[in-house]
Amino acid sequence: MTATILPTPADLSITPRDRRFGREAAAPRLWHGGRVEATAIYNALSTTFPAGEAFFVESVRAFRDGAPPKLAEEIKAFTTQEAIHSREHDAFNKRAARSGYDLSSLEAQVEKRLAVSRSRPPVVSLAATMALEHFTAILAHQLLANRRHLAGADSETADLWRWHAVEEIEHKGVAYDTWLHATRHWTRWKRWKVKAKVMLYVTRNFVVDRTSGSLELMRQDGITGIQAWTRLLWYLWIRPGMFRKIAGAWLKFFLPGFHPWNEDDRHLLGRYEATASGAQSQRKVRRAA
Ligand SMILES: [Fe+2]
Ligand SMILES: [Fe+2]
């Protein structure tokens, strides 16, 4: 296999915005419009970020030696963005814990999954990161494209999620391009087979773990059994239906010729920059370390 053409836009800028959220006033425990299931799924997702994004960074940086200069720069900016995301979600998770949630079983599950990944060869960790970064990017796209997902949420907490989504879109090609670089001597078939297998594996774990994590947090709010399942599945799959809405974008990952930037969704970043929070982010931009 010869060198691959990387379709990441030449004029893409990956810009770490060093923002802090929720340090002044505490959001209510049920910060997502008082809704137990909505708060639970976002809290469950946030629980994965501090350790998960540290794992993404370590998996990508293991392959930075010999990367083309543009990709090496993007890896640096990606590292800075993910480090700040980890910090902000760690702070968010501590606030959730202070408001009475016990996140320990969710965090233990994340650590268990990461331990399995770390026991595999580094290129498999990179593949898992590349697959999960596609997942994060399509969730981010949907979150920014459809206001319904954060409707009714505490405004500063909604800002945290939008800020994170913007940066996930900006750096969505970094793990993928690192993967293309790391596997440049593989055949197309071998590359496709590994990435498809890894995507199916991480998707299964993602859906199972986030569902059980959300149910656990709903249990802590007194909602259990069939009522909990119905409310959660309705929220995830029907209305606003995040999982249903990202299904098409998820499937595209398996197409030959897939690349995260086959869909240039930077118009969503422009829309964010035009908001008050986006304007504040612009002032907090700092160059990648
Ligand atoms: Fe992130
Ligand atoms: Fe990311």
Report the separation in Å between the CA atom of 33 and the middle of ligand 2, taken as the mean of its atom positions: 26
Per-residue pLDDT tens for 201-242? 999 999 999 999 999 999 999 999 999 999 999 999 999 999
Kindly report the pTM of this predicted structure. 0.95
Q: Which residues pair with 153 in a beta bridge?
A: 32
d(CA 40, CA 218): 6
Per-residue pLDDT tens for 103-147? 999 999 999 999 999 999 999 999 999 999 999 999 999 999 999
| Ligand found nearest the CA of 45 | 1
Largest Cα separation within the chain, whole Å, is 57
Task: Give the whole-number percent of the chain exceeding pLDDT 90.
Answer: 89
Q: Which of 3-7, 152-156, 218-222 has the lowest mean pLDDT?
A: 3-7
The pLDDT of residue 283: 75
| Ligand found nearest the CA of 82 | 1
Contact between 67 and 45 under an 8 Å Cβ cutoff? The reply is: no
Report the separation in Å between the CA atom of 222 and the middle of ligand 1, taken as the mean of its atom positions: 31
Judge whether residue 2 has pLDDT over 70.
Answer: no
The pLDDT of residue 6: 57
Which residues hold their Cβ within 5 A of ligand 1, which is an ion?
A: 53, 82, 85
Report the separation in Å between the CA atom of 170 and the middle of ligand 2, taken as the mean of its atom positions: 9
d(CA 217, CA 141): 26
Report the separation in Å between the CA atom of 82 and the middle of ligand 1, taken as the mean of its atom positions: 5
Per-residue pLDDT tens for 249-287? 999 999 989 999 999 999 999 989 888 788 888 777 754
Report the separation in Å between the CA atom of 209 and the middle of ligand 1, taken as the mean of its atom positions: 18
The pLDDT of residue 130: 98
